Amino acid sequence: MSPASPAFPAHGRPKEAVLAQMRAARDHDVRWRQGRAFSLVFHGGDDVSAVLQDAYTLFFSENGLNPTAFPSLRQFETEVVAMTAGLLGGDAHTVGNLTSGGTESLLLAVKTARDWGRAVRGVTAPEMVLPATAHPAFDKAAHYFGVRAVRVPVGPDFRADVDAMRAALTAQTVLVVGSAPQYPHGVVDPIEGLAALAAAHETLMHVDACVGGLMLPFVRRLGYPVPAFDLSVPGVTSLSADLHKYGYAAKGASVLLYRDNAVRRHQLFAAMDWPGGIYASPAIAGTRPGGAIAAAWAVLNYLGEDGYLRINRTVMETVTRLQAGLRAIPGLRVLGQPEMSVMALAGDGLDIYEVSDELTARGWYLDRQQFPPSLHMTVHHGHAAIVDEFLADVAAAAEAVRRPSLRKTVNRTVVSAANLLTRWLPEAWVSGLTRRLSSALGGGGLPGRSAAMYGMLGTLPNRGDLRELVLDLVEGFTRPATPAPRSNR
Ligand SMILES: Cc1ncc(COP(=O)(O)O)c(C=O)c1O
């Protein structure tokens, strides 16, 4: 049940009452502390969390906007950049800065390429060439900054297809993109091939190592095969690595590195004529939370190389156990050959969205993916303890899906009928149908049973204005459940 929307509080309440209400509000959140969520949270252990909280709290009022006011934050930021540059193939020329996360790093990499292209190559209608699997933050950047995103299908191994990307390059290309690894299937793109392509075409090349930047170097040192992916690869001009993912930092920390300052210069911003004074800023955010910068510095120093090796050994052993267990369950398969701890679980004769519904009913949280239908798994240190319980539940879920039931037959019939009909219906009708079906089948919010909705949405030959439906949902999530009463004060 959603709580009624409150008016602005007329009077303050005791701290304990406020905090108690907030603790209770968490009751319906995903249970990541119990290792039940395979996305959104990266848990490095309770000791790591304690260090992060202390460091964050120490600097929670400080502001990274002005480094002259807070030399402490400047020191933390520049040291985090230097430490991660050393880890990721940088040298004395490498420059960089912290951002609020992967999206801000990618937005900046694209904006930099656009401005570099205009200044250095005279490109007025910039394009970037990227694999279909690269993160949607690149589309957001394209949308925000007027850069055309040229998406290229990946190969059967889900990795970027270098030849197909070569064919997509034009005189307007300012940026080539590869991921290490890409999010949907967790495989590393052929960065050396892509970087050679970019260099030959005299264009920039960004490696999105938001997921892998703080993990792949340690995985390689542990003896697992990891292809070259970082700034040591000739032709790579920038790289992003999220500290708040496998760096196990507090949320709000990513590092964006550039091979040299000449390119990074195009990222920076300065407003000279404001009555409030000259205003300069390296990134998109103005105020930058000191806590996130401080916690990032703290976790690198707290764990050190040996700490990250220890954590990643556990994670990779967990992945090995999970993959072996999942592969042994009839009707399921892991897609591709992921290098680290991100992977996709697909059906091999079983409807994977039905499996997903069964897992949701058993209290697990896995994101659903499309093209092909699969479930996403981001495995972190916190999952080591739940492997057996999870595998038993997946086996039970697969077994339940194998059993025929009336609901499944109805769902399948609805999906087939919708697919058949939408081939012939005009777009507006399809949208209405989509809307009605998605709510009838449990759409809107976090549905318990949504296999049919996903089945339908994923296979519609004519998706109508599905995008508008999704934006409606986004609007819905940012609106209170019931309108706030007007204050008469
Ligand atoms: C490969 C990749 N790049 C970028 C991002 C965006 O990161 P953030 O959610 O921190 O903005 C993600 C997020 O999952 C990702 O997987």
pLDDT on residue 474: 78
Tens of pLDDT, residue by residue over 60-98, are 999 999 889 999 999 999 999 999 999 999 999 999 999
Per the DSSP assignment, residues forming a β-bridge with 151 are 130
Matching CATH number, 56-300, of 3.60.15.10, 3.40.640.10, 2.60.120.260, 3.40.50.10300: 3.40.640.10
DSSP string covering 373-429, please?
TEEEEE--GGGGGGHHHHHHHHHHHHHHHHS--HHHHHHHHHHHHHHHHHTTS-HHH
* Mean pLDDT in residue range 201-222: 98
483, with CB counted inside 10 A (0-12, 13-18, 19+), is exposed
Mutate to test the pocket of ligand 1, among 40, 103, 159, 238 (most ligand atoms within 8 A of CB): 103
Q: What burial class does residue 82 get, using C-beta atoms within 10 Å of its C-beta: 0-12 exposed, 13-18 middle, 19+ buried?
A: middle
Ligand 1 center to 137 CA (angstroms):
7
What distance in angstroms lies between residue 416's CA and the mean position of ligand 1's atoms? Answer: 34
DSSP 297: H
* CA 337 to ligand 1 center in whole angstroms: 20
Which tens digits make up the pLDDT trace of 301-327?
999 999 999 999 999 999 999 999 999
111 three-state secondary structure: helix
Mutate to test the pocket of ligand 1, among 211, 214, 284, 380 (most ligand atoms within 8 A of CB): 211
Nearest CA to ligand 1 atom 7: 102
CA dihedral 181, 184, 187, 192 (to 10 degrees): -50
Predicted confidence (pLDDT) at residue 462 exceeds the cutoff of 70: no
Q: Is 312 left (phi over 0), alpha (psi -120 to 50) or beta?
A: alpha
Distance of CA 443 to the CA centre of its chain: 23
The per-residue pLDDT for 443 is 46
How far is ligand 1, taken at its centre, from the CA of residue 174, in Å? 22
Rounded to 5 degrees, what angle do the CA atoms 449, 455, 457 make?
105
Ligand 1 atom closest to 182 (CA): 1
Strands 204-208 and 173-179: parallel
Q: What pTM does this model have?
A: 0.91
Give the distance (Å) from ligand 1 centre to CA of residue 206: 14
Strands 148-152 and 367-369: unpaired
Nearest ligand 1 atom, CA 245: 10
CATH of 305-402, one of 3.40.190.10, 3.90.1150.10, 3.40.50.1100, 3.30.70.1350: 3.90.1150.10
CB of 165 closer than 8 Å to CB of 196:
no
Ligand 1 first shell, C-beta below 6 A: 101-103, 106, 135, 137, 179, 183, 208, 210-211, 242
Least trusted range by pLDDT, from 39-48, 225-234, 298-307, 408-417: 408-417
Digit-coded pLDDT (tens) for 243-300:
999 999 999 999 999 999 999 999 999 999 999 999 999 999 999 999 999 999 999 9
Residue type, 112: T
**247 C-alpha to ligand 1 centroid (Å):** 13
Q: Average pLDDT, stretch 47-52?
A: 98
Average pLDDT score, the chain: 90
What does the pLDDT read at residue 335?
Answer: 98
Of 40, 107, 242, the residue with max ligand 1 atoms within 8 A of its CB, to mutate for a pocket test, comes to: 242
**CA distance linking residue 183 with residue 206, whole number of Å:** 16
- Measured in Å, residue 15 CA sits from the centre of ligand 1 at 35
pLDDT digits (tens, 9 = 90+) for 104-161: 999 999 999 999 999 999 999 999 999 999 999 999 999 999 999 999 999 999 999 9
C-alpha 138 to ligand 1 mean position (Å): 10
Whole-number Å distance between alpha carbons of 423 and 429 = 11
Dist. CA 108 → ligand 1 center (Å): 13
| For the chain, domain boundaries | 56-300, 305-402, 406-477
Ligand 1 centroid–CA 101 distance in Å is 7
Residue nearest to atom 13 of ligand 1 (CA): 102
**pLDDT at residue 373, rounded to an integer:** 96
Ligand 1 centre and the CA of 103: distance in Å?
6
Question: Quick check: 40 and 446 in contact, CB under 8 A?
Answer: no
Residue nearest to atom 4 of ligand 1 (CA): 102
From atom 5 of ligand 1, which residue's Cα is the shortest distance away? 102
Tell me which of 179, 187, 189, 210 to substitute to probe ligand 1's pocket, judged by most ligand atoms within 8 Å of the beta carbon. 210
Distance from Cα 134 to the centre of ligand 1, integer Å = 10
Among 38, 41, 133, 135, which is best to mutate for testing ligand 1, by the most ligand atoms less than 8 A from CB?
A: 135
